[in-house]
């Protein structure tokens, strides 16, 4: 069987094949950047137009009490099953950077008497920037540690650990259960960044007794550019969740206009500023595509797409430098190192193959199981060979 025949057979047997039709994708383009910006579900544009015309234009200020104000919690409940969270623990609010700041400060405040924050050494840059500023503001030392060494590095001085579930460069998937257990054994709290795993794999926050997590919604969740992020605070920590951005949206009675701050009940206290309604409701609409998705099937296809990508590389570009794990300890992306990654990716874009690169030499190909086809994987690797 040729690679083309194999791709055709895999696409014909794909249990998620029908999902592709729910997305607005140019058939001339092979899209591999859903790990940076997810493709738009077709119905989102019409839903958002209705929000503008009927809610903003028709109901005007009345829309705040018609459902806008409670949307962060309501949309959070739709994300909760995707991250393995029971109700009442997820809220959509603010950006990933802002949410990381809120959660990390709250985590160290909840664990007084300890002087350091441990940080995933290969973290996405914003996590490092935020952790550094939290350390400056709270007086905690920030120490970068490779993820494999985090369990041994935790000690009596460790207040909190911030770690990425999936490494954004290599695509490596870290063991949430084992790392969380090791952090807890040292008496520290753990904050997980889910930006590259939510919507790709079945995250199990409650099962692994995670303390806090944040994640973005514009990657595999397809919420649109700048879509708001979400916060998970385990129910056991909500009463003591003392975050630094005491904005009116997190107040117990935001419309009372009190001079002093009283934190809201439950997960609502993780809110800060006025919600970005248009982006929030675009995300709400985008989440409709997940209503009938079995996350086990999603994960199986994501891994199969990666396996086929590696198979194509072995056949067409033997010896390619692939930092992504060949076993299944990975998210839904394949990374390839090439000498001039930026030039190569630009040339791939000219051929209608849209991935991205990360300096200095990594090409990233995101594999979104809801719409990526095996034939597109073959097209990407074939184009890469032509440029080699």
Query: Which three-class secondary structure state does DSSP give residue 290?
Result: helix
32 with 156, same domain: the answer is no
CATH code (residue 333): 3.90.1150.10
Domain termination site, one of 232, 265, 290:
290
Task: Please answer whether residues 238 and 269 qualify as being in contact, where contact means their C-beta atoms are separated by less than 8 angstroms.
Answer: yes
Give the distance between the most distant pair of CA atoms in the chain: 72
Tokens describing residue 120:
């995933």
252 with 348, same domain: the answer is no
120 with 224, same domain: the answer is yes
Number of domain units in the chain: 2
274 with 319, same domain: the answer is no
Catalytically annotated residue among 219, 269, 271, 330:
219
Indicate whether 203 belongs to any domain: yes
Give me the pLDDT at residue 153, please: 98
Domain termination site, one of 247, 264, 290:
290
Indicate whether 81 belongs to any domain: yes
The string of DSSP codes covering 13-26 is T-TTGGGGGGB---
Query: Which three-class secondary structure state does DSSP give residue 42?
Result: coil
**C-alpha angle 228/127/217, rounded to 5°?**
25
DSSP at 93: -
92 with 233, same domain: the answer is yes
Catalytically annotated residue among 364, 371, 373, 379:
364
Token look-up 């409701």 returns 281
Give me the pLDDT at residue 71, please: 98
Domain termination site, one of 262, 290, 318:
290
Tokens describing residue 194:
């889910």
CA distances from residue 4 to 1, 114, 128, 351 in whole angstroms, order as listed: 8, 57, 43, 18
Q: Taking the complete model, does pTM exceed 0.85, yes or no? A: yes
Token look-up 């441990």 returns 118
Give me the pLDDT at residue 121, please: 98
Give me the pLDDT at residue 315, please: 98
Catalytically annotated residue among 23, 32, 101, 124:
124
Distance CA 20, CA 371 (A): 4
CA distances from residue 182 to 106, 196, 380 in whole angstroms, order as listed: 20, 22, 40
Indicate whether 255 belongs to any domain: yes
How would you classify the pairing of strands 362-366 and 356-358?
antiparallel
Indicate whether 278 belongs to any domain: yes
Catalytically annotated residue among 14, 33, 167, 193:
193
Catalytically annotated residue among 101, 218, 220, 357:
218
Domain encompassing residue 8: 3-42+293-386
Which residues are annotated as part of the binding site for pyridoxal 5'-phosphate?
A: 96-97, 124-127, 193, 196, 218, 248, 274
Distance CA 148, CA 47 (A): 44
Give me the pLDDT at residue 273, please: 95
367 with 339, same domain: the answer is yes
Residues 6 or more apart from 9 whose CB is under 8 A from it?
Answer: 1
261 with 217, same domain: the answer is yes
Q: Is 364 a known active-site residue? A: yes
265 with 251, same domain: the answer is yes
284 with 297, same domain: the answer is no
Calculated CA dihedral for residues 221, 101, 189, 164, nearest 10 degrees: 40
Q: Is 371 a known active-site residue? A: no
298 with 235, same domain: the answer is no
Output the tens digit of pLDDT for each of the chain's 388 residues.
999 999 999 999 999 999 999 999 999 999 999 999 999 999 999 999 999 999 999 999 999 999 999 999 999 999 999 999 999 999 999 999 999 999 999 999 999 999 999 999 999 999 999 999 999 999 999 999 999 999 999 999 999 999 999 999 999 999 999 999 999 999 999 999 999 999 999 999 999 999 999 999 999 999 999 999 999 999 999 999 999 999 999 999 999 999 999 999 999 999 999 999 999 999 999 999 999 999 999 999 999 999 999 999 999 999 999 999 999 999 999 999 999 999 999 999 999 999 999 999 999 999 999 999 999 999 999 999 999 8
CATH code (residue 208): 3.40.640.10
Nearest CA to 79 among 278, 291, 331?
A: 291
Indicate whether 322 belongs to any domain: yes
Indicate whether 48 belongs to any domain: no
267 with 298, same domain: the answer is no
Indicate whether 146 belongs to any domain: yes
Indicate whether 62 belongs to any domain: no
Distance CA 198, CA 185 (A): 26
Nearest CA to 269 among 242, 307, 297, 301?
A: 242
Which residues are annotated as part of the binding site?
A: 96-97, 124-127, 193, 196, 218, 248, 274
Give me the pLDDT at residue 335, please: 98
73 with 18, same domain: the answer is no
Q: Is 19 a known active-site residue? A: no
Q: Is 271 a known active-site residue? A: no
Give me the pLDDT at residue 126, please: 96
Give me the pLDDT at residue 37, please: 98
Give me the pLDDT at residue 12, please: 98
Q: Is 301 a known active-site residue? A: no
């Amino acid at each position: 069987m040729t690679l083309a025949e194999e791709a055709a057979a895999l696409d014909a047997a794909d249990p998620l094949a029908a999902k592709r039709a729910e997305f607005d994708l140019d058939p001339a383009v092979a899209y591999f950047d859903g790990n940076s910006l997810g493709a738009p579900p077709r119905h989102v544009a019409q839903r958002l137009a209705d929000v503008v015309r009927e809610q903003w234009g028709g109901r005007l200020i009345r829309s705040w009490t018609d459902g806008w104000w409670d949307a962060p919690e309501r949309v959070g409940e739709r994300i909760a099953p995707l991250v393995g969270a029971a109700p009442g623990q997820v809220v959509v609010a603010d950006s990933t950077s802002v949410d990381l700041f809120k959660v990390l400060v709250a985590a160290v405040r909840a664990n007084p008497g300890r002087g350091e924050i441990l940080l995933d050494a290969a973290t996405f840059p914003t996590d490092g920037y935020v952790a550094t500023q939290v350390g400056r503001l709270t007086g905690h030392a920030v120490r970068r540690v490779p993820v494999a060494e985090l369990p041994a590095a935790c000690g009596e001085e460790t207040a909190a650990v911030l770690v990425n579930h999936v490494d954004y460069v290599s695509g490596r998937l870290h063991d949430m259960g084992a790392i969380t257990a090791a952090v807890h054994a040292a008496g520290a709290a753990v904050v997980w960044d889910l930006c590259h795993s939510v919507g790709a794999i079945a995250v199990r926050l409650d099962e692994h007794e995670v303390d806090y997590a944040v994640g973005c919604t514009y990657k595999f969740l397809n919420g649109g550019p700048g879509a708001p992020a979400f916060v998970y605070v385990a129910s056991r920590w909500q009463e003591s969740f003392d975050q630094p951005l005491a904005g009116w949206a997190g107040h117990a009675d935001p419309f009372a206009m009190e001079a002093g701050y009283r934190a809201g009940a439950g997960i609502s206290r993780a809110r800060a500023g006025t919600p970005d309604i248009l982006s929030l409701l675009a995300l709400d609409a985008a989440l409709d595509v997940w209503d009938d998705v079995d996350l086990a099937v999603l994960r199986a296809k994501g891994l199969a797409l990666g396996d086929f990508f590696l198979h194509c590389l072995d056949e067409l570009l033997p010896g390619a430098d692939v930092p992504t794990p060949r076993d299944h300890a990975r998210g839904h992306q394949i990374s390839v190192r090439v000498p001039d990654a930026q030039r190569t990716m630009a040339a791939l874009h000219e051929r209608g193959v849209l991935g991205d690169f990360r300096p200095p030499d990594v090409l990233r190909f995101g594999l979104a199981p809801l719409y990526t086809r095996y034939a597109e994987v073959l097209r990407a690797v074939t184009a890469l060979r032509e440029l080699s």
